[in-house]
Chains A and B, each alone.
Chain A
């Protein structure tokens, strides 16, 4: 294998003279601002995603609290109707695209390459580019708070014709369109990278059916992203054409049909739901075996259930549209597929229970969150199956029952799992561990606060309280439920606050732990904590599904094997590291300028050749073009490091 590697032409041309010219300089900073702007290390990019996601999670949380304060009592005037629309639009958009997705992406980046025994992702610079474009999209979405036009206010679903120029004339919707468009670019670019990485960069012996379940779910999620995001991209392109160039896609007077938007949106929107939950299921499938001290029950079934959830997820979108009058046949078909998708989900639940069954369960903080996940996600799943029945859905549609349902699957599901994952992998990432007392306290605050907030919403919804309405009258009988929900929201806020304060404290002052503090099972736990930038000193050879567990029980054989491989590696020039690069960041800057030109700058009044709007777009495009050219010209070469710290550049030493 190593011989073949040395001979292959696919690895780039390391024997060439270096091409370091005045523009193609290679940044080498390992600390400070420059090191973060130019990083191509998947672990650092994971941190960048994680920190951005947690920041926007707090922003979205504040928006949620403002919504709950407004609804606390009848006829409240804490927010105006307009502000309320901005709040619920930005709360949903922020939580989905800027909190849960990037937090999952943080785990994909940090954990997945470690789990497959790789030293980085397949395209390190593309990975950095994905993050910068994500950040630009997040900025564009949130610019509205600071300018006169205000934040986007058309709902996270952006239904036409509300979002067309006629009804939303200012730039708020333009920013929403452009922001989501860029987040789509970032997600697709990152997912292409993850797919190639998982398929092509597995360590020897890491067959597909030995992949840790989290990595499997990363793969399924990445496929969902590359296949479903195009639908919303095209929908957004059509809406943008309508808004900027006066086309007729959703313009009824010109023959357009707003229902097309709804279909395109949900063709993306429903797979998106699984994009949010499958990574969470992957995390749970890692945590349960570790703390039950048993292998995952029915590994192949769990994997195939995840894949079939992903597959079926493309065939259920119209259950968001039962009340649009699709006709009996369409409604019945989508009702059926929606019920079918509950089957693989149920299979997973039973496999998790099977994993717990007869295990030596240790109730540590990650395990609390994981068990909370199973319970809460099941409640959300049950109300989901209730929606699958079209007649019942006609009653529940657009009511708080739906709000209760999706918060049970998104908070009780996705978020609980992500919080569990942070606790679980914290020792690996930073070499420190959160104290059990504070961890469990934050769990119980979050758990109780969450249920007090959202359980009453089931009843509010069944009693007819509609979504997205900024206030209600006192004689509707919704006062008590709303008051309780708001109290719960404050408790949830305190819980989340506790969680993060404890996390920050632990980062600086927490108890230091040796590697593998949970006695875990998968490959990444064999690494020192925190892992070095090259991850694996010697690329591991995988012998079993839970390979680290195998290694712990076959220490001498594995050590002998590793020594042989280490010698071979050294003979071939040490560990190859990719050069850092500034161009992904500069390309991101170009995209930011261009996106501001498209979404924020006013259209030029006259037919003048180059006005402010066009000029801004062109400047952004030029920056992007030059950055891309230099990016490709600097090439994907790298340098070699040797375990004891000796460094040599390509072409210098040999």
Chain B
């Protein structure tokens, strides 16, 4: 592996392009301009229908849980901090720090998504707000669902980048095995994420029904032990995949890839700030 020190690469200037901006970065900026218009249209739709409510539309304030959403908003904003640290780490070629930051970003993004799953479930089954039964449900679920899809895509991207950072360099890469290894890594990662979400949401729901105490947790663990064991195996598997296996083909020259992903992630967070204000906070004025 040729050793390139961080000083060799100027992360703010790409001499191979006319403007010095790396192509991938410019592509992402332009895409985000386009994405602004996507969200602009959806948010406008929500606000227009908010101003023209048909008779019998439920009051949003009675449905929303501002505490939960404030918490998930905070978590999502903190994930942006971790994303920024990840970009910084790879620009310096620090792989350990990059992986830790990416995993934290994945964790925070997943917490946000978990909150959204909980929120949607709660709205539909307890507050009786569905996507079909009122215009509020229609615009709310479509808008926040589209944003949630963006976060989910971001999480998938982060996971893929994390797995990519284990691609072996040199002779190992010439064999096809790393590809199978990576696919297995991806499957285990996705399964573990989903299982963890299932367990955490299950505990939360059980706790809500019976109150949080040791007995409740014991009952839950007794009933759901296969899921718990599978989750544990998943985490052990992830640890095993992450064991050091020699040189990898991932260094500061990949910084632009991570930075492109970071731009996307920050943008999705900024959109959430707008949605949080326009959809949630607006209902609490006056």
Contact = CB atoms under 8 A, between A and B. Distances in A.
Partners in one complex: yes
Interface of A: 1, 4-5, 7-11, 13, 15-24, 122-123, 188, 192-193, 195-196, 199-202, 206, 226-231, 233-235, 237-238, 241, 245-249, 254-257, 260, 264, 267, 629, 632-633
Contacts of B253: 9-10, 13
Given A17-B174, A23-B176, A192 B31 contact: yes
B65 interface: no
Contacts of B126: none
B8 A9 contact: yes
Contacts of A255: 49, 52-54, 57, 134-135
A6 to B, nearest CB: 10
B16 A4 contact: yes
Given A248-B138, A256-B138, 19 more contacts: A4-B15, A13-B249, A22-B176, A192-B31, A196-B26, A196-B27, A201-B23, A234-B38, A237-B142, A241-B131, A246-B132, A249-B139, A254-B54, A256-B135, A257-B48, A257-B49, A257-B52, A264-B45, A632-B160
B277 interface: no
Given A17-B173, A230-B38, A254 B16 contact: no
Given A16-B169, A227-B34, A255-B52, A9 B4 contact: yes
B135 A264 contact: no
Given A200-B17, A245-B131, A7 B179 contact: no
A192 B27 contact: yes
B37 A230 contact: yes
Give the bracket for the number of chain B residues in contact with chain A. Answer: 35 or more
A199 B14 contact: no
A7 B26 contact: no
A245 B48 CA distance: 21
A5 B27 contact: no
8 contacts: A8-B14, A19-B173, A20-B174, A21-B176, A24-B179, A230-B35, A234-B38, A254-B135
A1 B15 contact: yes
Interface in B46-88: 48-49, 52-54, 57
A99 B168 CA distance: 47
Interface string B169-190: 1110111100100100000000
Given A200-B26, A247-B132, A249-B138, A227 B37 contact: yes
Contacts of A267: 41
A16 B41 CA distance: 45
Contacts of B131: 241, 245-247
Contacts of B132: 245-248, 254
A248 B135 contact: yes
B86 to A, nearest CB: 18
A260 B45 CA distance: 8
Contact of A264 (B41, B142, B182): B41
B237 interface: no
A188 B38 CA distance: 12
A196 B23 CA distance: 6
Contacts of A256: 49, 135, 138
Interface in B121-169: 131-132, 134-135, 138-139, 142, 146, 160, 169
B14 A10 contact: yes
Interface in B25-41: 26-27, 30-31, 33-35, 37-38, 40-41
A629 to B, nearest CB: 8
Nearest to A253: B54
Contacts of B40: 230
B24 to A, nearest CB: 8
Given A8-B14, A196-B30, A245-B132, A234 B41 contact: yes
B216 to A, nearest CB: 31
B286 interface: no
Contacts of B19: 199-200
B174 A19 contact: yes
A195 B135 contact: no
A72 B62 CA distance: 62
Interface of B: 2, 4, 8-9, 14-19, 21-23, 26-27, 30-31, 33-35, 37-38, 40-42, 45, 48-49, 52-54, 57, 131-132, 134-135, 138-139, 142, 146, 160, 169-171, 173-176, 179, 182, 249, 252-253, 256
Nearest to B139: A249
A229 B22 CA distance: 25
A10 B19 CA distance: 14
Given A17-B170, A21-B176, A254-B135, A234 B23 contact: no
Nearest to A21: B176
A651 to B, nearest CB: 9
A10 B179 contact: no
Nearest to B4: A9
A206 B267 CA distance: 32
Contact of B8 (A7, A13, A22): A7
A195 B48 CA distance: 33
A199 B41 contact: no
Contacts of B176: 21-23
A9 B252 contact: yes
B145 to A, nearest CB: 10
A200 B18 contact: yes
A4 to B, nearest CB: 4
Contacts of A200: 17-19, 21, 23, 26
A201 B17 contact: yes
Given A195-B30, A257-B52, A231 B41 contact: yes
A146 to B, nearest CB: 33
A188 B135 contact: no
Given A16-B249, A22-B176, A230-B38, A5 B16 contact: yes
B6 to A, nearest CB: 10
Contacts of B9: 8-9
B45 A241 contact: no
B255 to A, nearest CB: 8
A183 to B, nearest CB: 15
B18 A199 contact: yes
Contacts of A20: 174
Contact of A8 (B16, B48, B174): B16
Contacts of B14: 8, 10
Contacts of A16: 169, 173, 249
Contacts of B138: 241, 247-249, 254, 256
Contacts of B35: 230
A254 B146 CA distance: 21
B41 A235 contact: yes
Contacts of A196: 23, 26-27, 30
A29 B239 CA distance: 43
A193 to B, nearest CB: 8
B174 A247 contact: no
Given A13-B253, A16-B173, A123 B33 contact: no
B150 to A, nearest CB: 13
Contacts of A5: 15-16
Contacts of A257: 48-49, 52
Given A9-B252, A196-B26, A247-B132, A227 B15 contact: no
A248 B135 CA distance: 6
Contacts of A231: 37, 41
Of all A-B residue pairs in the complex, the 6 with the closest CB atoms, nearest first, are: A255-B54, A9-B253, A4-B15, A230-B37, A21-B176, A255-B135
Contacts of B27: 122-123, 192-193, 196
Contacts of B16: 4-5, 8, 10-11
Given A17-B174, A21-B176, A199-B26, A241 B34 contact: no
Contacts of A245: 131-132
